[in-house]
A and B are shown apart, each in its own frame.
Chain A
Amino acid sequence: MPENIPSKAGTLRPSSGLIQKIIRRQSAEEAEEKKVSLSKQALYQLMALLVAFSVIFPILWVVSLALDPRDLSRPPDFRLIPPGASLDAFKRVLDKPTANPVTFTELAINQFKLAGSVALFSVLVGVLAAYSFSRFDFKGRKALMLSVVMVLMLPSIATIAPLYVLLNRINVNFGDFEFNLRNSIWGVAVAMSSGQLPFAIWNLKGYLDTIPRELEEAARIDGASPNQLFTKIILPLVTPALAVTAFLGFNAGWTEFALSWQFLTDPKDFTLAMSLWNMTGQFSGDTPWSAFAAMALMVAAPVAMVYLLLQKYIVSGLTIGSVK
């Protein structure tokens, strides 16, 4: 198969006829690359630009609103590029995003507590179960895996009624100290984990299934116990998947809305997602749109950046899972 020899080999023996063949092939390919006529190229570019514009349009709109220096409550005319730029809207939102006396930082800390705890917990517990499902064959394996997948099928809202009612029962009362699990960010975290843990198990199992078993088999012949296999071989290999799954859990927690909106009543416990909705929903008559836009950007930015960095792994992981 002379055609398959990489062209690098040719540089060692420049006189061989093979090289000329390769060069000819390459130039033929280059010619093919250039074969697209200018009019066709223009058509392609036009179509691609149109699609790109439709994608960018809402993003430009919200960035323009957030940066607009004119301090308008509502934009009077249509602009995608603001006349100048100012960060006043961001400053205002950082100070006091909604009518409640809560700063952006406090809201972000609440949201971070929720997202972080859900991500950490679901991955820590989930990876153990995923290891078991992926590597062992035991009685009831199929039935248990099926029960996990069944839960995955349900949206989190489909169990909101019993979770609300049950968590509301967990009440601690010591004189002045009163704690209701339902009415706290931790209650929301518990309710969220109810759906996130099965997702983490399923997602991590998908990754674990793609790791070849030869390494473990070799170690097993050498007498390694299941625990050693897990800590010495599986965990180091699966770290990227852990990071991705934790991020997906964090992402879900960072924009969690339905549960917190139903569970939480004290403005001190409110989250970013709830406040963003407060700034846009039926109560937002006096919220300037520049403040809303700044808030939307600040909510989206952290997760969007990490998503962009991890995008390759996330998409391939999700499609692995979906194809199986």
Chain B
Amino acid sequence: MATFSNSISPSSAQPKSFSNWWRRTSYTRAAYLYLIPAFIVMGLITFYPMGYQVWMSFTDYGIKNLKFDAAPPNNVGINNYLDILPDKITVGDNKIDIPGTGKLSAKIQNFNFARILGFNLIWTITNVPFHVVLGVLVAVLLNTKGMWFKRFYRAIYILPIVLPWLVVATVWKNMFDQNNGAINMALATLGGVVNIPAEVFRIRWFENIYPPVKWLLPGIPLPLSYYAMLLTNIWMGWPFMCIVATGALQSIPRDLYEAASIDGATPSQQFMAITVPLLKPAMIPAAMVGTIITFNLFSCIFFMSAGGPLRQTEILVTTAYDLVRAQRLYGMAAAFCVIIFFVLLTLTLITNRFTKATERYDA
């Protein structure tokens, strides 16, 4: 487009040049014309609902306002936000006062915004490293020269990626069943070899409220259902990272390793000094995408633990869904989603900074 603006010198701008102008701007007009359908649609079904959501978040929108001829909801100011946020946050032994009132926790059993946010972050932080590390290790294994049946293994390892989350989560939930699930029965079979009675392995994965490792994060208890979902999400998450890592590994020149081995570097030294730094530019963006996906992983949490037991494994999106679906507090849910928006915005800005930092490293 720069060429067009350069050609408009003051002398050539004559009144008769309307047709000129029309021709000159044809590309700009086309640009807007091609955008119009998408933005009309998005205006109606994306941006308008989002704006409406912000308005809703300042009202007490409920079932009584649902009918199309019902009275408009009452304006409640920022009360929804104050009710969601707790009045105090405990960090270690210190209690920090924050402007919230925490009234929603009185209305809904076991609702605690600080804990939900905390669990959501811990859930994300503990999941993604497993995906990346396992993905890279398996990719390195499959990249070993002279290994047999590589294609066979690659074909199998792709399977979790192609399966829909809905099916994976429901099947794993079934496998974690207390009496007839595959996990408990397999554990019992294995335990039978060393004479551990089968009753030991009647593990109640999703109902047990006591954290198995008590000293780990006492403020935010991690019940068994967290570990069950962690396992499921690792199963689901590492193959994608493995594919990304395989692509990056194959672009590392072999000469580097040859030179290093001539200089006497051991395989583990080569891994740390060549493989890891050269994988970083590919793995960090993938890990960032994985972070956002895991942070919002509705399907895994909802289908497996449904946030339970006692809302201990609830994340932000499942809570928002609960506010709409079970509690029917539409105004409150809107406020909650506005809060989610700002949390995600912060998270995205942080992850973008990471990604950009690696880009510069790469260049």
Contacts and interface: CB of A to CB of B under 8 A. Distances in A.
Contact of A33 (B142, B145, B179, B189): B145
B149 A129 contact: no
Contacts of B46: 151, 159, 194-195, 197-198
B289 A255 contact: no
B28 to A, nearest CB: 5
B296 interface: yes
Interface in B288-305: 288-289, 292, 296, 298-299, 302-303
Nearest to B40: A125
A272 to B, nearest CB: 9
Contacts of A48: 141-142, 147, 149, 153
B233 to A, nearest CB: 13
Nearest to B150: A48
Interface stretch (A6-14, A90-98, A296-304): A296-304
A255 to B, nearest CB: 4
Interface string A64-94: 0000000000111110000000000000000
A311 interface: yes
B138 A56 contact: no
Nearest to A77: B185
A160 B174 contact: no
B320 interface: yes
Contact of A258 (B167, B292, B321, B333): B321
A151 B330 contact: no
A13 to B, nearest CB: 28
Contact of B41 (A136, A197, A227, A251): A197
A280 B160 CA distance: 20
A157 B321 contact: yes
B146 A225 contact: no
B42 A151 contact: yes
A138 B31 contact: yes
Interface in A105-151: 125-126, 128-129, 131-133, 135-138, 141, 144, 147-148, 151
Interface in B23-79: 26-28, 30-32, 34-35, 37-39, 41-42, 45-50, 52-53, 56, 61, 65-66, 68
B317 interface: yes
Given A157-B298, A255-B164, A255-B166, A44 B42 contact: no
A289 B174 contact: yes
A322 B156 contact: no
Contact of A197 (B30, B42, B325, B330): B42
B157 A300 contact: no
Contact of A280 (B159, B174, B239): B174
A225 B26 contact: yes
A125 B40 CA distance: 10
Contact of B50 (A162, A225, A254, A258): A162
B38 A51 contact: no
B170 A276 contact: yes
B163 to A, nearest CB: 5
Given A155-B317, A198-B42, A164 B330 contact: yes
A34 to B, nearest CB: 6
Contact of A315 (B163, B235, B243, B323): B243
Given A155-B296, A157-B317, A165 B164 contact: no
A32 interface: yes
B185 A193 contact: no
A165 B56 contact: yes
Contacts of A163: 45, 49
Shortest 5 CB-CB contacts between residues of A and residues of B = A136-B31, A129-B38, A226-B30, A78-B185, A132-B34
28 contacts: A33-B145, A34-B146, A48-B147, A56-B156, A58-B168, A58-B175, A62-B174, A75-B185, A78-B189, A125-B37, A125-B41, A129-B38, A131-B34, A151-B46, A153-B345, A161-B320, A166-B52, A198-B42, A225-B26, A255-B166, A276-B166, A276-B170, A292-B174, A300-B163, A303-B162, A304-B162, A311-B162, A319-B244
Interface of A: 32-36, 41, 44-45, 47-48, 51-52, 54-59, 61-62, 74-78, 125-126, 128-129, 131-133, 135-138, 141, 144, 147-148, 151, 153-155, 157-166, 168-169, 171, 190-191, 193-195, 197-198, 201, 225-227, 230, 251, 254-255, 257-258, 261-262, 273, 276-277, 280, 289, 292-293, 296, 299-300, 303-304, 307-308, 311, 315, 319, 322-323
Given A151-B42, A162-B52, 15 more contacts: A34-B146, A48-B141, A48-B142, A51-B153, A55-B160, A58-B168, A58-B172, A129-B35, A144-B35, A191-B45, A255-B167, A280-B174, A300-B167, A303-B164, A311-B158
